[in-house]
Structure 1
Amino acid sequence: MTDQTVKKVVLAYSGGLDTSAIIPWLKENYDCEVVAFAADVGQGDEELEGLEQKALASGASECHIVDLKEAFVSEYIYPTVMTGAVYEGQYLLGTSMARPIIAKAQVEVARKVGADALCHGCTGKGNDQVRFEGAFSALAPDLRVIAPWREWDMVSREDLLAYLAERNIATTASATKIYSRDANAWHISHEGGELEDPWCEPTEQVWTMTVSPEQAPDKPERIQLGFEQGRLITVNGDALSPYQALVKLNQLAAAHGVGRLDIVENRLVGMKSRGCYETPGGYVMMAAYKALEHLVLSKDSLKFREQIALEFSHLVYDGRWFTPLKDAILDAAQSFAKDITGEVVIKLYKGQATAVQRRSPNSLYSEDFATFGADDVYDQRHAEGFIRLYSLSSRIKAIKSQQQG
């Protein structure tokens, strides 16, 4: 039996089996009031429909559903895109980026209702427990954190279903759950089932957002993206809000099978996991952004941006959003992003998103200098002196080796 000092707790609630069981468990083991909190980060109306009624039926005193869609894209996704962050060279950080804004909103609800504790349904094996609790530590160190999966003796879906049945709490969950999924405006992730064997190719039932590249249209589609100071502002000439722009890209790219990823990644807690991700709009946005960067940024600037991308990918994945390091890296990335203004045309075809046209008023590309034809601005004889100075240290080393030999 846990101690009885908690009076009111705010639970990050999804309406799934785990959090449905957590509500009565908290009331029984902490003798406290439970306030359910759910974040709308673009996971879809079907996941939010009936959520409040379900939470109240499970024993919650209140249910707060907070709309975070625009803020999620504008304040978390766009800044991360500006850094170029891609975890372990492939993963576009869909789940990782959503956790800090959810945790922040959960703390705000806790302050609003006068709670003295926070609760999440993350398991003790995953990354999310670190992401949530890292945010709680930075934003509300005075509030107690309860993690039922690290306290109770239930270990399976069958245990949770039996627990709810004993208390006559209805649930739509069943003993068989093939996949574990997490969705938001940026992506949807899939784990479990055949994916637990990395030798097993994902079946088509894994994928829920994109069509198979083999079944995608045989004719490519071109879409035009407009950026201003690093932020996407138009799609095919239409001015859209950050969230609506992402929704539009998701629709266009998913129809061409763009954005599927199957990887084995390193979790923060030390184990490897295999997951499949669908990030159609994000894949297009990253491709377009990088096309503009290569047009606008100098060699040294792009090199430094690539370095901070690596650091930022681990920072986001590891749940260190609310840190001074995050602020410093974003400041650097945003200084580069000030020049990322222009248009890019992306060709969508059979699972690929390829930049085929790009232009910017800040472009450093000059056809006069780069041409293979005759020009009046570059004397190729000047290259000899440059090369001799550039390779001077190698020449000195070679001369000394010859003298000693």
Structure 2
Amino acid sequence: MKEKIILGYSGGLDTSIMIPWLKENYDCEIIAVTCDLGQGEKELKDIKEKAIKSGASKAYVEDVKNQFVTDFLWKLLKSGAKYEGEYLLGTLSRPLIAKKLVDIAIKENATAICHGATGKGNDQVRFELAIKSFSSKFKIIAPWRTWNITSRSEAIDYAHSKNIPIQATKKSPYSNDRNIWYVSHEGGDLESTENEHNSEFYQMTNTLDKTPNHADFISIQFFQGIPVALNQIEYSPVELLSKLNEISGKHGIGIIDIIENRLIGMKSRGVYETPGGTVLYKAHQYLESICLDKDVLHMKQRIAQDYANLVYNGLWYTPLKEALDAFIDETQKNLTGDVKLKLFKGHCLFSGAQSPSSLYHKDFSTFEKDDVYDQFDAQGFIQIYGLPIKINSIMKENSLKNFHSIENMRENNKL
């Protein structure tokens, strides 16, 4: 009986050529699994047919868009996590894809799971740790770590030799990944840090010269840290994010070009488009600024970096992640309100916020006359707050006096 291998299948260059390669190297039946993460009809069109024509015996296309947004992206948004201060972690789809691969592997009574990640990248870790968290019985196959293909150019040649249709060419060898949250661009001329990236490859975002010459004002309504409405109209999570992608992308918002430190130990350059996500992060940040007290806000900001590292490093299904989520959820209980933003020429500008839980109190903060704050109270506060500094200063002054006394004594002895 032939071995059954579940292949995480995107229809891109790498996973497209893995079907014939697996059949050449294993006595196996290939079952392709594609997750619809909002990458669009263009990428998913005829993907089942392509997988079957390439040699798969069966092909699944799983619609996981809603689960991706509600169970993954909204948790990320509430955390405020950005890897190395910029990257909004669009590869968060990997643990979800891995969970679906395990589910179908169990359903199909398969013995192995294959992924298309390279031996240089982070995704191999994300896929495999997620798979291990749900089952330890499946053999994991990672062709990029074992086959004789050594470059994208060779992979393109192999695809042509097998008559497999691909979008990648040697003139445009970019590696792209897309879902409802982002688009990533790597490879090609981006492999040199000396080159400005070519904005012609944008998929979700206008270049600045093509953005409107007028601003758009929007408002986003949150309930306990989760966006629920846009301009006072409630939408499903997928609809809301899709609409934000459209309007934010129109204004050229959400482009970053970064050199990031991969988990595997090397630096790499990537261009990322995250239009809707960038606007949501800004709005959420502004709402937290009026609703969270200083100590909670500062602690949450410190945790955000740890959360970003955890997500980037593939540790989504871990006890630490669950513990951090519990803290974050507690901080979001009163994060309900409305944030207004101005979108224009790549900028997302704060235009106002309100919340029934706001800790901002105009009567205390005003520069005008007030009846709630006695400015004389600050004098005593500064005296107490600055007491350690005062004592330290006294100590230094006494030490300096003692030093001069000793120096004088030494000079007198010399006489």
Quickly name the TM-score band, shorter chain normalised.
Answer: over 0.9
Distance 1:308 1:161 in 2: 42
- Structure 2: 5+ residue stretches without partners: 401-415
Matched with 1:314 is 309
Give the Cα separation in 1 of the matches to 2:2 and 2:393. 73
Distance 1:77 1:214, change over 3 A: same
Q: Which has the higher mean CA deviation after the structures are superposed, 134-143 or 202-211?
A: 202-211
Q: Residue 388 of structure 2 aligns with which residue?
A: 393
Secondary structure of 2:180's counterpart equals coil
Which of the residues 255, 265, 269 maps onto 2:264?
269
> Deviations 1:116-154 (Å, cap 9, x if unpaired)?
110001110111111101111111111110001111111
Are positions 1:220 and 2:212 aligned together? Answer: no
Tell me the C-alpha RMSD between the 2 structures: 1.5
Residue 332 of structure 2 is aligned to residue 365 of structure 1: no
Deviations along 1:164-219, one digit per CA (max 9) or x if unpaired, are 55555555654443321110000101112221221211222132221122331221
Aligned partners of 2:64, 2:336: CA distance in 1, in Å? 26
- Distance change >3 Å, CA 177–CA 396, structure 1 → 2: same
Q: Contact between 1:6 and 1:116, CA under 8 Å: does it hold in 2?
A: no
Give the drift of 1:36: 0.3
User: SS of the counterpart of 1:189?
Assistant: strand
Residues in 2 aligned to 1:65 and 1:211: alpha-carbon distance in whole angstroms:
30
Q: 2:43 matched to 1:47? A: yes
TM normalised by structure 2 equals: 0.93
Q: 1:181 to 1:310 in 2, by over 3 A?
A: same
- What is the CA distance between 1:363 and its match in structure 2? 0.3
Which runs of no fewer than 5 residues in structure 1 stay unpaired?
Answer: none
Would the alpha carbon gap of residues 295 and 172 (structure 1) be closer, same or farther in structure 2, given more than 3 Å must change? Answer: closer
Is the partner of 2:259 in helix, strand or coil? strand
Helix, strand or coil at the partner of 1:65? strand
For 1:336 and 1:172, locate their aligned partners in 2 and report how far apart those are by CA, in whole Å.
45
The letter for the 1-side match of 2:133 is A
Once residues 264 and 157 of structure 1 are traced to their aligned partners in structure 2, the CA distance between those partners, rounded to angstroms, is 21
* Pairs aligned (count): 400
Q: Tell me the TM-score normalised to structure 1 length.
A: 0.95
Within-5 A mapping of 1:85-164: 85-95=81-91, 97-164=92-159
8 Å CA contact retained: 1:6, 1:117: no
Q: In terms of mean alpha carbon deviation, does 203-212 or 82-91 score higher?
A: 203-212
Whether 1:68 aligns to 2:80 is no
Structure 1 counterpart of 2:224, from 229, 254, 257: 229
Within the alignment, does 1:23 sit opposite 2:16 as a pair?
A: no
Q: Is the 8 A contact 2:168 2:174 kept in 1?
A: no
Residue matched to 1:59: 55
Percent of residue pairs identical: 46
2:359 counterpart SS class? coil
Report how far residue 162 of structure 1 moved: 4.5
